[in-house]
Amino acid sequence: MLVYHLPGTFDTRDDHLDLLWQAGATGLEERAGVIRAYFDEQTPLPEAVRDGEWRQEADQDWLAEFKANLRPVAAGRVTIVPPWLRAEVSAPQVPLIIEPGMAFGTGHHATTRLAVEALSALNLNGRTVLDVGTGSGVLAIAAALLGARYALGVDIDPITIPIARENAELNGVPAGRSAFMEGTLGDELPGDVVEDGVYDVLVANLYAELHDLLAGAYVPHLRPGGPLILTGILLGKLPLVRAALAREGFTDVTVREDGEWALVTARA
C-alpha cells in the first residue's frame, strides 16, 4: 500500500486537499497531525504539497483488525457478543449474539448498552416490546431473551431488516416471538400481532430531535403506565427531550448518563 504522508491536518491544509485528489489520491485520512494520502502509484506532485514523504506500508485488513479487537459487552443481565466469542459468556449472564455488520447495534456504543441495561432492569416476562430504530435488532432481541412474549423492531432503513432477522435467528428467538419491519411510527405496522399496536414497553435509540418529533406518536403505542425508554440523546439535548415528554403527559422521568450520552425513562 502506497501512502503519501503530508504534515498537517485537514483544517490546516484545506487548500491542498484538492491537489492531492487531482494528483490521483484514492483516499485521504488524517491521523495524529499527518494527512495520509493513498495512491496506486507514485506520481509527481504539485509544489505546494511536496513537503511530504512517500512510504510503502503493509496492507491492513481493517475488518479483520476490527473483529479481532471486539470484546464482549456486559449490559445488566445481558452480555452482547459476536458469534465467535459466545463461549466467553457464562451463566447467569444471558448471551446476546450479534454478528457485526452494516447495521448499528453491536453493543459497543454507550446508547445501545444503556438501553439493554434499562430493558434488563425490567421484568419483561410475558410482555410485548416495541423497538423503534431497531438497527441490528439488538434491543428487540434482548427483550425476547429477557422473557418478552413478543418484540417488534421497526426501522426506516430497509437494509437493517434482514440483518435483524438473522441476528434473531442466531439467538434462537422463534419467529413468533420477534418480528422486524421496515417503517416507523405513524405508519401502519402491517402484520403486527399486537392488538391496536399498543405495547407494554417502548424503547427507541434514535436522537433527541427525533424523540421530540415522535413523542406524540409514542403515546398511542404504549399502554397506560407502560415504561418508555429513550436514548441516543446527547447530554446537551436533554432539555428538548424533557420538554417533549412533559408536553405529551409522560411522568416519572429519570435520566442515566454514560459519557456524553443520556438515557431517559418515563411512564405513559
Decide if residue 138 touches ligand SAM (CB under 6 A).
yes
Which of 36, 205, 261, 266 contacts ligand SAM by CB under 6 A? 205
CA distance 132 to 232: 12
Decide if residue 105 touches ligand SAM (CB under 6 A).
yes
Residues 146-185 that bind ligand SAM (CB under 6 A): 154-157, 160, 184
Least distance (Å) between residue 214 CB and ligand SAM = 7
Q: For residues 178 and 206, is the Cβ–Cβ distance under 8 A?
A: no
User: Angle CA(228)–CA(169)–CA(199) in degrees, nearest 5?
Assistant: 20
Least distance (Å) between residue 25 CB and ligand SAM = 31
Write the Ramachandran bin of 198: left for phi over 0, alpha for psi from -120 to 50, otherwise beta: beta
Half-sphere exposure of 43 (CA within 13 A, CB side): 18
- The owner of cell 435509540 is 205
In sequence order, the 6+-apart residues with CB closer than 8 A to the CB of 187 are: 154
Decide if residue 232 touches ligand SAM (CB under 6 A).
yes
For residues 17 and 240, which CB has a smaller minimum distance to ligand SAM in the complex?
240
Decide if residue 139 touches ligand SAM (CB under 6 A).
yes
Q: Which stretch binds ligand SAM (CB under 6 A): 94-102, 119-127, 128-136, 169-177?
A: 128-136
Q: Which stretch binds ligand SAM (CB under 6 A): 20-28, 63-71, 203-211, 236-244?
A: 203-211
Which of 94, 98, 115, 118 contacts ligand SAM by CB under 6 A? 115
In sequence order, the 6+-apart residues with CB closer than 8 A to the CB of 256 are: 114, 117, 118, 262, 263, 265
Residues 38-67 that bind ligand SAM (CB under 6 A): none
For residues 52 and 105, which CB has a smaller minimum distance to ligand SAM in the complex?
105
Instruction: Single out the residue of 53, 27, 51 nearest to residue 42, CA to CA.
Output: 53
- Decide: residue 228, CB within 10 A, 0-12 exposed, 13-18 middle, 19+ buried: buried
User: How many residues line the site for ligand SAM (CB under 6 A)?
Assistant: 21
Decide if residue 112 touches ligand SAM (CB under 6 A).
yes
For residues 2 and 206, which CB has a smaller minimum distance to ligand SAM in the complex?
206
For residues 52 and 227, which CB has a smaller minimum distance to ligand SAM in the complex?
227
Helix ranges (H only) for the chain are: 17-22, 62-68, 110-120, 138-145, 160-170, 208-218, 238-247
- The owner of cell 512510504 is 55
Least distance (Å) between residue 153 CB and ligand SAM = 7
Which of 17, 74, 89, 206 contacts ligand SAM by CB under 6 A? 206
Binding stretches for ligand SAM (CB under 6 A): 104-105, 111-112, 115, 132-135, 138-139, 154-157, 160, 184, 205-206, 210, 232
